């Protein structure tokens, strides 16, 4: 995820302080990985240096001065370009799960046990995500659906691989 583009997108609704940006980011995108304040301010400094945001005001407070950032026209154009650019699909050709299955086969370990344990973990996470999806807002529902579809694809692979274990073992692994 491009944190800079995400913060720019959040600024399109109006100027905000770094603290407000962090809170908005965490609320919509950071449930599992909230931003650190240092990450927000380092990103905002870079965006400011690149002319994508400007300081819209400075307020004195109990601590350091609070800068309010606003997106510039260049920032709006940058976000629009980023949003219109398709993401490269990730083929997952070298996943850790794949590596573990192949190594289990190559070393004579029981790949079936590995697959069963992984299947149970996938199902546990799918139950947790389904519960989170039921309680979440639209943004939370969308991210949970995204994760659930990926987990379902993994489960299909786990089932197919389990069905092929005999043939894979005879072939000397993968």
Residues 61-109 pLDDT 10s? 777 778 999 999 999 999 999 999 988 887 776 788 888 988 888 888 8
pLDDT digits (tens, 9 = 90+) for 142-162: 999 999 999 999 999 999 999
pLDDT bracket for residue 28 (50, 70, 90): confident
CB 69 within 8 A of CB 48: yes
pLDDT bracket for residue 169 (50, 70, 90): low
Backbone angles phi, psi at 71, to 5 degrees: -75, 145
pLDDT(41) > 60: yes
* Residue 151: partners with Cβ closer than 8 Å, 6 or more residues away: 122, 125, 126, 129
- Across 111-124, average pLDDT: 94
Instruction: Give the pTM.
Output: 0.71
The per-residue pLDDT for 158 is: 94
The per-residue pLDDT for 171 is: 59
**DSSP letters along 16-52, please?**
EEHHHHHHHHHHHT-SSSPPPHHHHHHHHHHHHHTTS
Cα 71-74-80 angle, rounded to 5 deg? 85
pLDDT(173) > 90: no
């Amino acid at each position: 995820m491009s944190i800079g583009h995400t913060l720019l997108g959040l600024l399109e609704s109006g100027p905000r302080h770094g603290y407000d940006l962090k809170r908005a980011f965490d609320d919509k995108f950071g449930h599992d990985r909230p931003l650190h304040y240092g990450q927000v301010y380092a990103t905002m400094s870079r965006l400011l240096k690149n002319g994508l945001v400007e300081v819209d005001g400075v307020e004195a407070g109990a601590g350091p001065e609070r800068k309010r950032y606003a997106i510039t026209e260049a920032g709006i154009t940058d976000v629009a370009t980023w949003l219109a650019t398709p993401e490269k699909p990730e083929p997952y050709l070298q996943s850790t799960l794949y590596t573990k299955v192949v190594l289990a086969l190559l070393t004579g370990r029981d790949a079936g046990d590995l697959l069963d344990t992984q299947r149970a973990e996938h199902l546990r996470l799918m139950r947790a995500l389904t519960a989170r999806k039921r309680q979440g807002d639209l943004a939370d529902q969308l991210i949970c659906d995204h994760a659930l579809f990926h987990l379902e694809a993994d489960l299909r692979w786990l089932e197919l691989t389990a069905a092929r274990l005999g043939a894979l073992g005879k072939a000397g692994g993968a």
